[in-house]
Structure 1
């Protein structure tokens, strides 16, 4: 049953971006309404991938005039996606799977001092790898080529010096993944060219976050509501976690680029990195506000953004329309239509185990966790096409190109 999406459900400063053919969970809409009603909230937008979280909906953006609410970011601080476009056109599926497994088993940072790794990525994000002794030369080159992230200085790292650097280069659970995808038919060839995308060529997508570090951040700040200078310590620590997450995604992408034989600068044609869970000071209604993105991809100016599909549906590169009505955000993915326990029960009854590692699009899945294979099956997600068209029709972004999964790693 589709949740009611009429204005009576939500306060006047809140809206849903979803066509009539996009299913929305009633509980998720109720969570959106509850957060929108919090003191200080001046704008709330639920994206077409909206789904219920632990009291906070996922797939939404909220603007608060005078306060920062860490609970709206939660423990997945810095979660986001990295896209790396390559000039590699094809690789035999068996070879790619074997090489991907090998790349995931390698330890690129084995020769590095863990403390130095943590300090550098906390302070400088992915660029920090270029400053650490023992980092493989190809990874150091990728790190040195990273653009400045434009974030404020990272805050005090002392609460988080607990071995979290050991998680760098790991995907994590939930809907996070590492993937090789093929660029499909271009919707906007000029925009695709500007990002370095060519139809038929392979790209790497890394969707992950700050891992246990973000969880520690979420626990430390709990249910705080921060106003004025009281927000500064949290914001500094959040920036450190976001930089850690960017470094994690670069290391994941490096692993898969090695599998493709594409870690040289000459084979990389473009890319981007986006954060889905963070807070930023942005203009809303002519005034500055704290925009909290909870599972929402930024869509500022004419920047590129990515809306993730599932392992059985394409992700989409889109171009932002800088739409304040959508809090300069878009959906970060297709959105779930089944809870995890429901997916385990229903999908186990529909498919044999060997069918779970192949997709209808011809892709392969590398996953050693039987429960995760069921929980993250494409059937557990909404169709991606109505989500994309909802964003286009609402004027939040334009479609550029689909990225069709070839090999998805979840481990």
Structure 2
């Protein structure tokens, strides 16, 4: 059962499923963290049976009050000033994205922020936004696609095969990668992720297990992809032990599918009910990590992140078998997630919404577009950026604008010019929708160093 007291322990004891559990966990974590779980549960039971006796008690008073009368939800106001922040490539970032960050920087829980050079307007935090908070997590700040990530595998296969055996490589993507809401693999692989305690202990996660099992190894819609391309290793001193030169690579981009989307929806709703904010920033409602809901979201978020990794592992494992080769290198990273990290000597929750972790010597892959190269990078651990970098080139045009501005002929022309084959994809993902990745990389030279590139050649997206 473990020694740490959780919300489910209080529920078993008979506590009502309301904010009294969050208050109890907050008080216990604040005042009784080091005491035996059994002793705390004994006291909690006494409080539950006769809350009137404990009103005014230094430790249990707030809990007792929550049991005796409904808890009033506090209205939080934004601060008048912003916490410290940095913006990279400011001239290339639209004003809407900046103002989204400015609002987040005034939250009472905000500690520090940053905006990456691929930033653009998004939901919750701006895409490319990074926010450190004090012991609180913002579910909508993490985002709907929890643990959305990049994964690159590198193979010791001559790059000439991409042309010489192009038809075979195309068929691998056509027949063995699945996208969107309806497509699943006929033969489903089991995975250790499905034996995690969260699938039995958290009611929401338990209900989502079948969906997660069906969607393992599949990708979402929109800008998600699986692609073959050319990897050029340009740095002799690399972590893979690879010689400089060209290799075949497989790059995938997708997240935690229906599992993550449902987790985000559920806990964002709980946060907005518990944390009232001015209307324009209500979507940035947070969960205190000392509360039951905060702790449960943290568990669920981490499960979703691990599930996203499991999906990528499944995708790359299937492709490796079909190629008939084992990867000699693998680079992967989340970009919609929250981490516990030290900021200015204090543990904080660092939200990265469409931003790549870039701690000192941490590896990452930052894609461009379906016709532009991506970059294999090593983090420089820049504290002003909260040890982060861009997660891609970033959109220059919205999806709606792309449909107004470009045609299928425009895309075909770009693909032909860059010798790229596209399977699926829509006008909203046109190469021209994205910023110039080389400018983006130039604007983050103090955040990452480049070890190599990945150039797409055969790209599969949702229809």
Distance 1:123 1:286, change over 3 A: farther
Q: Where in structure 2 are the equivalents of 1:121-140 lying within 5 Å?
A: 121-122=193-194
CA distance in 2, matches of 1:107, 1:70: 27
- Partner of 1:213 in structure 2? 259
- Partner of 2:132 in structure 1? 63
RMSD of aligned Cα (Å): 2.6
Alpha-carbon distance, 1:290 to partner = 0.6
CA distance in 1, matches of 2:426, 2:82: 38
CA deviations over 1:52-74 (Å, ceiling 9, x no partner): 11243111111002211111012
Structure 1 runs not aligned, ≥5 long: 1-9, 126-151
CA distance in 2, matches of 1:329, 1:153: 31
Distance 1:326 1:354, change over 3 A: closer
- Partner of 2:50 in structure 1? none
CA distance in 2, matches of 1:299, 1:310: 21
What is the total number of aligned residue pairs between the two structures?
355
Is 2:274 the counterpart of 1:228?
A: no
CA distance in 2, matches of 1:354, 1:398: 33
Greater CA deviation, 274-283 or 177-186?
177-186
- Partner of 2:375 in structure 1? 316
3-state DSSP of counterpart to 1:280: strand
- Partner of 2:311 in structure 1? 248
CA deviations over 1:15-57 (Å, ceiling 9, x no partner): 211164xx21111111111111111111111000101112431
- Partner of 2:85 in structure 1? 14
- Partner of 1:405 in structure 2? 456
CA distance in 2, matches of 1:219, 1:306: 28
CA distance in 2, matches of 1:244, 1:321: 28
Q: Where in structure 2 are the equivalents of 1:28-107 lying within 5 Å?
A: 28-90=97-159, 91=161, 92=164, 93-104=166-177
TM-score (structure 1 length as normaliser): 0.80
TM-score (structure 2 length as normaliser): 0.71
Distance 1:153 1:159, change over 3 A: closer
Give the counterpart of 1:110 among 176, 179, 187. Answer: 187
CA deviations over 1:190-224 (Å, ceiling 9, x no partner): 12654x47522111111110011111011101151
3-state DSSP of counterpart to 2:157: coil
- Asked if the contact 1:183/1:401 (under 8 Å) is kept, the reply is yes
CA distance in 2, matches of 1:406, 1:221: 39
- Asked if the contact 1:312/1:359 (under 8 Å) is kept, the reply is no
Give the counterpart of 2:396 among 332, 337, 346. Answer: 337
Is 2:435 the counterpart of 1:382?
A: yes
CA distance in 1, matches of 2:329, 2:196: 21
Give the counterpart of 1:174 among 222, 227, 236. Answer: 222
Distance 1:29 1:202, change over 3 A: same
- Asked if the contact 1:330/1:391 (under 8 Å) is kept, the reply is yes
3-state DSSP of counterpart to 1:235: helix
CA deviations over 1:81-140 (Å, ceiling 9, x no partner): 11111101232223321232222379766265xxxx47x324569xxxxxxxxxxxxxxx
Q: Which has the larger radius of gyration?
A: 2
